Amino acid sequence: MTKVSDPIRIGSFTLKNRMTMAPTVKFDLAGPDGILSDEHVKHYSERASHGIALLCVEATAVTPDGRFDEKHIGLWDDSQIEKHRLVTEACRNNGVVSLIQLNHTGIGTNPAVGRPIGPSSVPCRTGMSEEMPVDDIHRMQSMFVAAAVRAKKAGYDGIQLHGCHGYLINQFVCKKTNLRTDEYGGSAENMARFACEIIRGIREACGSDFLISVRTVGADPDLSTAAEVARYYVDAGCDYLQVSSGIEQPDPSLAAEGAPYNLICSLGVHFHDVFKGKVPVSCVNGIMDPELVRYLIENELTDTVDLARAMLADPRFPEAVLEGKEFVRCFECKACQYGPFTKHVCPAAVRRGALVL
């Protein structure tokens, strides 16, 4: 029986256990320059020090005009590299594999920082988005690759492409937002081409030992199409899949009946079956009890579990899973994930007497 404490090989790296920290944006900590703040460094350093095996730093903009907001970290410029070295050093000192998630918001770009662009001209919050010409697509791909090169210079072991939650890569693989009839639209292979060419570019620029993962859609528009898209990612060189939601709502019937985990987590379980023996797969969403972590791993329903709110509420959560230590459970008040751009005082952090970030 597989245990949470068992190591696992992903790409060129061996994780010391089966728990990873999901990328969770700290909206109120960055400045307009996109440089990590001291609060960011403290936040990630603390979470690297309590037993997690892999830590993925939050969504990081590859261009200044593709941010959520003016307070959004980036890796579009060499001046942003240095502060990241403090995070990667903290991870390395604790035996934690470090990734950083690279992102562009596409048609959801905040008008305060840029214009909404995407695979097609479709309705967006400011009217209609602008369709990207092929030359612009290639320029954007080069921005992702350049950001990955900066991540490697900063000491990260790899990157994660943000391919879900409605952002640019997700927009290319969703028929609601990709109406193209050229080589970047139509079939699953064509819609996956944007990200696949980024993956190949990163592999060429960063080497065979650089870990490349994709946070991918589990059922956008359906399970079989999403899995087909992910197969193209893997064929292009993706080492690791983290499965989450996309633009379209997943079919509720995909939830495992009677299971102790939710619909989004069920998508990861489905992908684990599809990609077994090919690449490791991680589940995410609503995993906030040590018992559920053990259930998913010990029943071999997933290769790793991706922890988000559990780690925001208490960075000691992995020690609770591995060693039975006490921890403060997430209150599930939703504000940390549904209230961006506002100061949120986490009740769990207050209860454990931590400095609230």
As annotated, the active-site residues are 167
CA 229, 338, 307 angle in degrees (round to 5)? Answer: 60
**β-strand partners of 284:** 306
Query: Which of these, 198, 206, 195, lies nearest to 157 by C-alpha position?
Result: 206
CA distance 146 to 76: 8
Count other C-beta atoms under 10 Å from residue 277's C-beta: 4
The residue type at 21: M
User: Which residue bears the tokens 């603390």?
Assistant: 46
CB-based burial label for 345 (10 Å; 0-12, 13-18, 19+): exposed
User: What DSSP state is assigned to residue 103?
Assistant: E
Residue labelled with tokens 């954007």: 140
Q: CA 116 to CA 118: how far, in whole Å? A: 7
Report the phi/psi class of residue 277: left, alpha or beta, with left for phi > 0 and alpha for psi in -120 to 50: left
**Cβ atoms 124, 191 nearer than 8 A:** no
Q: What does the alpha-carbon distance between residue 150 and residue 353 come to, in Å, rounded to a whole number?
A: 36
Q: How many CB atoms lie within 10 A of CB 155?
A: 16
